[in-house]
Structure 1
């Protein structure tokens, strides 16, 4: 497992590099990932606009930034993502702002899911390759200490309840999900990730 993570890290992108990669592909009428379609390209365009907005509006709570800056160790947040993923578009800008506010305690790296099947298959959600998936790697130990994703708890419950009640994932729930993210303003992602970081601190190997 450690070798799979190390191999993946060699092909990761910084947040800025990831944004440029997605943008460059869109200029060619493409999206990231093995599958190419008009719908996926359109989702990628929509996500790029969302991320541009979130880069300007997302704010990290002062208490969250303080906790990140006072982490005892240094970490890599390795995120499996794709440009067409709506959840990733909502979450990656938050992760980026958290990493930037951590006083270099966190290094955010992004890998494309479809280029890293071996790693993705180790972190399935209910048997599916759901993204984004965040792997929290302790730099000093070189091991994955925890993982998170693909959504905050509130967003996951929204999707689960809708699928239970209606049996489908349709455009209505996709719209409702985006409204949930808009209202939440990235707070749930911040709180859940910091909670995990604190649990790592107090549960050492």
Structure 2
């Protein structure tokens, strides 16, 4: 596992590098990943707008900030993402704001399709669901915990919708985005802090 994580870290982005990359892709009418499909390109463009808005509006709540500022160990937070992922667009800005609060967190981002070995270590119910945050102790390079692809309440919203309708369609995705808008990243912050 350590060698796979090290390999992924060597090709990782800082948050700003990732944001610049997604912005450029949106302008070029492209997407990350191994497929350049119209729907994925559309989601990349939509997510660029979401990322831009959330970078400006996301705030770390005081109780989470207090925990992050008192961290006694140094961590690498490695996030597996893709530009077309709606959950990643909602969660990455929150994770970034959390990392900015603590000098003991180094945030790095990798693309799922370019880091398949890493993704396969952190499957969710056998699927390559993203985003996936991997919390690594910097001193030992050991994985402390992981989070993702979405907060518990958001997971439940999708499970309930799928149970009622049999599929996750555009309506479900809209409901999920509304949930993220109302939650303002608070559930993500609290759930990640509980993992430290």
TM-score in terms of structure 1 length: 0.94
Deviations 1:46-91 (A, max 9, x none): 0010111111111111121110011110001100000000000000
* 2:126 is equivalent to residue 127 of structure 1: yes
Shift of residue 105 of structure 1?
1.1
Structure 2, unpaired ranges of 5+: none
Q: Which residue of 2 aligns with 1:44?
A: 44
Deviating beyond 6 angstroms after TM superposition, the runs of 4 or more aligned structure 1 residues are none
Shift of residue 29 of structure 1?
1.6
* 1:150-169 equivalent positions in 2, closer than 5 A: 150-169=149-168
Shift of residue 28 of structure 1?
2.1
Q: Which residue of 1 aligns with 2:142?
A: 143
Root-mean-square deviation (CA), in Å? 0.7
Shift of residue 101 of structure 1?
0.8
**Alpha-carbon distance in structure 2 between the residues aligned to 1:69 and 1:135:** 19
* 1:61-140 equivalent positions in 2, closer than 5 A: 61-102=61-102, 104-140=103-139
Q: Is the 8 A contact 2:33 2:112 kept in 1?
A: yes
Q: Which residue of 1 aligns with 2:57?
A: 57
Q: Is the 8 A contact 2:26 2:48 kept in 1?
A: no
SS of equivalent residue, structure 1 residue 100? helix
SS of equivalent residue, structure 1 residue 163? helix
Structure 1, unpaired ranges of 5+: 198-205
Shift of residue 120 of structure 1?
0.3
Q: Which residue of 1 aligns with 2:183?
A: 184
Q: Is the 8 A contact 2:44 2:83 kept in 1?
A: yes
SS of equivalent residue, structure 1 residue 84? coil
TM-score in terms of structure 2 length: 0.98
